[in-house]
A and B are shown apart, each in its own frame.
Chain A
Amino acid sequence: MVDRIGDLEAIATGPAVMIAASLLIYAAAKKLYARVPFPLLHPVLTSVAVIVALLSLAGVPYDEYRDATSLISFALEISVVALALPLYRQFAVLRRNAPEVATGIVFAAVVGVVSAVVPFLWLSVDPSTAVSAAPTSVTTPIAMAVSERAGGIPSLTAALVVVTGIAGAVIGPSVLKVVGVTNRVAWGLAMGAAAHGIGTARALARGELEGATSSLGLCLNGLLTAAITPLLLRLVLG
């Protein structure tokens, strides 16, 4: 007899069902966030929570979901290459403000990685987790690639990056106000370097120049962090 039950199970945990479900759950989460723009309801957080809950309820292990959605993971890898376009579009802004952008990014990359790793030296049971937390200020796909290269857990890195971005969009403007950052280039650069894409969305809401410099901060900090993280990890963790 044909194994119909087995076939149906394979469809239920296969790419068609898993990718369709992920797309529709994310679309619903985005709609909810547009109605109720409360930071903790950020569509990435809510859709991850819903999918984790559904997989746990259905008893589907993460490995099966990961294999079924490998097409999306491939698109994520390609999206890093695509970041060349926003970088190219902001060339004029970069050229006009090169000294302050270069200074800000060097500080952002070094301070970002070191300050993310140091708490683990004092507080952690297992300092190897520090590797997963090292690149949390940069955009998710770059952070995941850096974490994987350095021996971290890319999924954990992705979750930390999203939390950093949301926290940055919420408290970033107040922090910058308290420390007296009023220059628009510096303001946007700081938001993009600290809170990547989610910070850039917030910066765009303040003005076009802030959005452009935030986008620059995102791309350049991602690039420099990818380049120096292996060295900084060796220096700090020994």
Chain B
Amino acid sequence: MIVSFGILIGFHALGSVLSVLVVPMIPGNVLGMVLLTVALATRLIRHDWIEPAADLLVDNLAFLFVPAGVGVMSYAGVIAREWLPLSVSVFLSLIAVLIVTGRSAQMVARIAHRGDRPTGAEADPDG
């Protein structure tokens, strides 16, 4: 657990340095995720070294953003003023992403896997 936290926080630091020096528009922790993914893929870091901390954090992700969510109490005015574009934005973007992602991926899948052995990917468990 100690080592795994050390590695995760270390990659956060590495990503933050990279963000400051090379790509300022991408947040340091996102770059840390990219670097760690590369380190895992190249076996530089073994996945069981980070599993204790990584699983703990990912499994409880929802709790971790509660304090951030409480911050909306400071922005009641913004929400009261902008509720219409905020609601339209959330629902338009949600429905657009669902349709565009699902349809485009399905179209490419049908072309890419023509002639493959059946993998079960086309089966529809909901009937």
The interface of chain A, by Cβ under 8 A from chain B, is 22-23, 26, 43-44, 47-48, 51-52, 55-56, 62, 65-66, 69, 72-73, 75-89, 91, 96-97, 99-101, 103-105, 107-108, 111-112, 115-120, 122-126, 129-130, 133, 136-137, 139-142, 144-146, 148-149, 153-156, 158-164, 167-168, 171-173, 175-177, 179-187, 189-191, 193-195, 197-198, 206-207, 209, 217, 219, 222-223, 226-227, 230-231
Whether B118 sits at the interface, judged by CB under 8 Å, is no
Output the least CB separation between B121 and chain A (Å): 5
Across chains A and B, the number of contacting residue pairs, with CB separation under 8 Å, is 331
B120 CB contacts on chain A under 8 angstroms: 184, 209
Are A85 and B93 touching (Cβ within 8 A)? no
B21-49 with Cβ < 8 A to chain A: 25-27, 29-30, 32-34, 36-37, 40-41, 47
Task: Decide: A119 and B33 in contact? CB cutoff 8 A.
Answer: no
Contact B69 A179 (CB under 8 A): no
Q: Which of A65, A69, A84, A219: most chain B CB closer than 10 A? A: A84
Chain A residues with CB below 8 A from B1, complex form: none
A189 touches B105 (CB 8 A): yes
The complex places the Cα of A83 from the Cα of B92 at a distance, in Å, of 27
Q: Are A186 and B109 in contact (CB under 8 A)?
A: yes
Residues of chain B within 8 A of A62, CB atoms compared: 70-71, 73-74
Binding site for A on B (CB under 8 A): 5, 8-9, 11-12, 15, 25-27, 29-30, 32-34, 36-37, 40-41, 47, 50-51, 53-55, 57-58, 61-75, 78-79, 81-82, 84-86, 88-112, 119-126
Let me know if B78 and A156 touch, CB within 8 A.
yes
Q: Would you call A80 and B32 a contact (CB within 8 A)?
A: yes
* Given A119-B89, A179-B102: A66 touches B97 (CB 8 Å cut-off): no
**A44, B73: Cβ atoms under 8 Å?**
no
Contact of B66 among A51, A124, A153 (CB under 8 A): A51
